[in-house]
Structure 1
Amino acid sequence: MSGTFKEIRRKLWFILNIGVVLWVLLGAYCMLVPPYEFWPAAFIAFSLPAALVLNILFLLYWLVKRSWYVVLPLSVLLLGWNYYARLLAINPGTEEPEQEKKTLQVLSFNTHAFSAYDDKEAGNSSASKEMIEWVSTHPADVYCLQEFYSRHNSDVYNTISRIGIRYDKHHYFTTSQSDRYNARFGIAIFSKYPIVDEGVILFGDKSANRVAWADLDVKGDTIRVYAVHLQSMSIKATDIENTYSSIGNEDSFKREGRNLARRLRKGFIARGHQVELLIEHFQKSPYPFIVCGDFNDIPFSYTYNELAKELDNAMVEAGTGVGATYNGPIPFLRIDNQFYSKGLRAYNFKTYYDMGLSDHFPISAKYVLEKEER
C-alpha cells in the first residue's frame, strides 16, 4: 500500500512538473506577442519568473529522488538558459580593455525629480542636495537622467548649472512639462565629450514619456547615446500596500486588484508601441550606440524581448546577481537597463544600492569601442 501511495505521489509531481514546463513555454511565447494586439499575453509573460523558479525546485526535487524525471526540468534549464540569464546574471569577472582602447562610462538614473517635491513636503532640501551632489561628482563620462528636474531661479535645483556647467559638461535637455515654480521636467544627457548632434523621440502630444539621444565625439569616434523613459506602470507604493492590506476582504481585494491590473494593462500596451518607435529609430543609427534608461518593464516582457533581439544587455553580459533597480515595495524588479549595439563591449556593470533617495537605483557600465574588422 505504501509503495502504491509513493507511485501515485510521484506521478502527481510529474504531472505538476509538466504543467510548469508548459507554463514556461507559454510565457516565452507570450513575450513575442505585442500587448496592443493581445494584452493578456503581457500578464502571462510577467509571470514567467515564477515558472522558472519552480522549474529549478523540480530539478532539485528529482535530483534528491534520483529519478530520471530530472531530465524534464534539466532540459528546460538548458534550452531556456537565456531566460535564466535575464533572471540572474553570473559574470565572475569581465575582461578589462587594453589601455589604448577608447572607453566610455555611462550612468543611467531616474532621479525622481531629485526629490524636489518630497523635500518640499518635508520642509527641507537635504535629500535633493545629497542626490544632486552624488550625480554631479560621479566619475562617469556620460549621465542619462530621467525625470530630470531643473529650476534656474533656485540655488538648490538649478541642476543644469550644478551638474553640467560647474563641471564643464556638455548637455542636452528635452523638457516634457513645467510646474508653477517655472521648473522644467524631462530627460537630460550630460557628457564630458562634445555633443555633435541631438534629438528627441516623442510618443504623442499628450505623453510626457520620451527618448532623448545625442551623438558624442569620443576622441574622434562618434557614439550615440539614447536616454529612455518609457510609459510608467503608474503604480504607487500606496496602491500595492492597499492591495496587500485588503487581503481577507474579498470585495476590497477585488477592487484593488482590478485597479492594479487596469494600470498594468495600460502600461503594457503603451510601451509596446513606444519600444517599436525606439527600435525603428536606432536601426537607422550610423554609429555604435547605447540605449539606457527607465523602461518600466521587467526582462520578461515584450518591451525587453524586442530590445534583446537587437542588442546586448550590459547587466546580463557584465553584471552579477539579480540587479534589481526598483526601490519600492515590490522586490527584485529590474526595470532600468543599458543595452548596446555591435561595435561596443560592456564591462564593469554596477547597481548603486547606496543611493536610495529615488524610487530607482542608479546603474552604470563601462564600454570599450571595438571597431569591427572589415
Structure 2
Amino acid sequence: MKNLRFFEKVMFFFNSVAAFLLLLSYILPLLPPKTFSSFSVLSLGVPILIVINTLFVLYWLVKIKKQVILSLLMLAIGYFSLGSLYKFSESKSEISQNAISVMNYNVRLFNLYDWISEKGVETKIEQFIKREAPDVLLMQEYHPHKNVDLSFFKYKFEELSGNKTKYGQAIFSQYPIINSGSVEFPNTSNNAIYADIVKEKDTIRLYNIHLQSLRIDPNLDKLTEDDAQKLFKGVGNTFKTQQLQAELFLLHKNKSPYKTIVGTDLNNTAFSYAYKRVKGDLIDNFNAAGNGFGRTYDFKFFPIRIDFILTDPEFTINSFKTYDVLYSDHYPIMSRVSLPR
C-alpha cells in the first residue's frame, strides 16, 4: 500500500469491498435463507460481482501492481467451486439410438394477456415446438390455450389451478406415461409435477418444477427508492419460500426408484441455495454441454440463467442448446441425453 498513489489506494479500497462481497456470495448458497434471508439476496448479484472483479484484475494488470492478486484469487475460487460464468465451447458427444431429447420452457400462458405486443405469439410457440420436435416437453406457466394444438405429443400430464384462467405445469411426452402426480407447495400456485415414462426397457422419472417467483421487474431503472426497499425485503422472503419448496421436492425425489430428469424454472440463479439443493448430485446439462452465458430470462441488465435441465449422472449428455427466440419472458432450452445401458 505504501507504493500506491492516493487514487490507487481508493481503487484498492473499492476492490477489497467487491472481492469481499464476491467471496461472501460464494458462501451464501451453503447457508439456509431462513437464517440469512437478507444476505441471501447477494447471490443474485454474483454475475455483476464477477464482472467488477474482472475489471479490477485488468486495472491492476495494466498498472503492474501486486494488488491484482486479490480479485484474481476470488475469481479463481469461484471458477473451481462454482464453474465459469461463461462457457467458451460447446461439448458434444456421439448421439446414440437410445437418446432422448428434453425441452424445458416457461411459456408465460402463451402470451394470453398480450405482454408481448406481437400478434400470434401462441402460434409461433406451437410452430417452434413442432419444428424442434422434442421427445419430452416440460412447460411452466402452461395454459390450455384455444389456439395451441400440442396433440402431436402422444401423452401428457398437466396440473392446473385458477378459476377463470387455468394455468400451471405440464409434461408432454412421445413415450407412455405410466404414473404421474404433483408435489404440492403450500400457499402458492407454484408446484412440482412428475411423470414416469417408459422408453424401451427403461422407466424414467421426469420432474417439472416451478419455484416461487422473485417478481423482479426487468426494468429496474424505473424503481423508486421505496420500491427498491420493498423489493429487497420481498426477495429475502421469497428465498425462504424457495428453500421450503426445494426441500419438499427433495423429500419426494429421494423416494423415487427411477433415473431422473428435472426441468425447472427455478426463479433463481446457479449461485443460489435453491439451485444447490435442487441440483444435489444431478448434472447441470448447460455446464456439461452448453456454451455462452446460457441466458434463459429476458433481463435488461445482464444475461441471467434461471431455467435448468438436470439429469442423473448415469445419463450421457450429448448436447444442450439455449434458443434465442423471445416468445415469452423466458428462453426455451433443450438437451439430448443418452440412456444408460
Q: Do they superpose with TM above 0.5?
A: yes
Question: Normalising by the residue count of structure 2, what TM-score does the alignment of the two structures yield?
Answer: 0.90
For 2:207, what is the secondary structure of its paired residue?
Answer: strand
- Could you say which residue in structure 2 is the equivalent of 1:163? 150
Pairing of 1:205-284 with structure 2 (within 5 A): 206-237=187-218, 240=220, 242-243=222-223, 253-284=224-255
Give the Cα separation in 2 of the matches to 1:34 and 1:233: 17
Compared CA separation, residues 234 and 10, structure 1 to 2 (3 A): closer
- Could you say which residue in structure 1 is the equivalent of 2:292? 321
- Which residue identity does 1:297 align to in structure 2? N
For 1:259, what is the secondary structure of its paired residue?
Answer: helix
Give the Cα separation in 2 of the matches to 1:9 and 1:254: 30
Give the Cα separation in 2 of the matches to 1:125 and 1:136: 19
- Among candidates 165, 170, 176, match of residue 188 of structure 1: 170
- Could you say which residue in structure 1 is the equivalent of 2:139? 145
Compared CA separation, residues 47 and 126, structure 1 to 2 (3 A): closer
Q: Give unmatched runs, 5+ long, in structure 2.
A: none
Give the Cα separation in 2 of the matches to 1:73 and 1:311: 30
Give the Cα separation in 2 of the matches to 1:175 and 1:86: 37
Compared CA separation, residues 40 and 86, structure 1 to 2 (3 A): farther
Give the Cα separation in 2 of the matches to 1:6 and 1:225: 57
Q: CA RMSD in A?
A: 2.6
Give the Cα separation in 1 of the matches to 2:285 and 2:150: 25
- Which residue identity does 2:162 align to in structure 1? Q
Cα distance, 1:85 vs structure 2: 2.7
Count of aligned residue pairs for this structure pair: 341
Instruction: Encode CA deviations 1:136-191: one digit per residue, 9 max, x unaligned.
Output: 4432100001111115xx4x1xx4xx203xx1421111112241xxx531111011
Give the Cα separation in 1 of the matches to 2:93 and 2:317: 9
Report whether the alignment pairs 1:115 with 2:85.
Answer: no
Compared CA separation, residues 242 and 57, structure 1 to 2 (3 A): closer
- Which residue identity does 2:215 align to in structure 1? S
- Could you say which residue in structure 2 is the equivalent of 1:106? 102
Cα distance, 1:125 vs structure 2: 5.9
Pairing of 1:330-369 with structure 2 (within 5 A): 330-353=301-324, 355-369=325-339
Q: Give unmatched runs, 5+ long, in structure 1.
A: 244-252
- Which residue identity does 1:365 align to in structure 2? S
Give the Cα separation in 1 of the matches to 2:300 and 2:20: 30
Pairing of 1:279-298 with structure 2 (within 5 A): 279-298=250-269
Instruction: Encode CA deviations 1:99-118: one digit per residue, 9 max, x unaligned.
Output: 35x21110011111111222
Compared CA separation, residues 351 and 220, structure 1 to 2 (3 A): same
Give the Cα separation in 1 of the matches to 2:242 and 2:40: 11
Cα distance, 1:277 vs structure 2: 1.2
Does the CA-based 8 Å contact 1:351-1:361 persist in structure 2? yes
For 1:118, what is the secondary structure of its paired residue?
Answer: coil
Per mean C-alpha deviation after superposition, the further-off stretch among 79-88 and 359-368 is 79-88
Give the Cα separation in 1 of the matches to 2:198 and 2:254: 20
Instruction: Encode CA deviations 1:41-95: one digit per residue, 9 max, x unaligned.
Output: 2122222323222222222223223333433333323332146635222334322
- Which residue identity does 2:175 align to in structure 1? Y
Give the Cα separation in 1 of the matches to 2:32 and 2:43: 11
Does the CA-based 8 Å contact 2:21-2:49 persist in structure 1? yes
Compared CA separation, residues 75 and 242, structure 1 to 2 (3 A): closer
Report whether the alignment pairs 1:198 with 2:180.
Answer: yes
Instruction: Encode CA deviations 1:182-210: one digit per residue, 9 max, x unaligned.
Output: x5311110111111211111102x31101
Report whether the alignment pairs 1:22 with 2:20.
Answer: yes
For 2:34, what is the secondary structure of its paired residue?
Answer: coil
- Could you say which residue in structure 1 is the equivalent of 2:129? 135
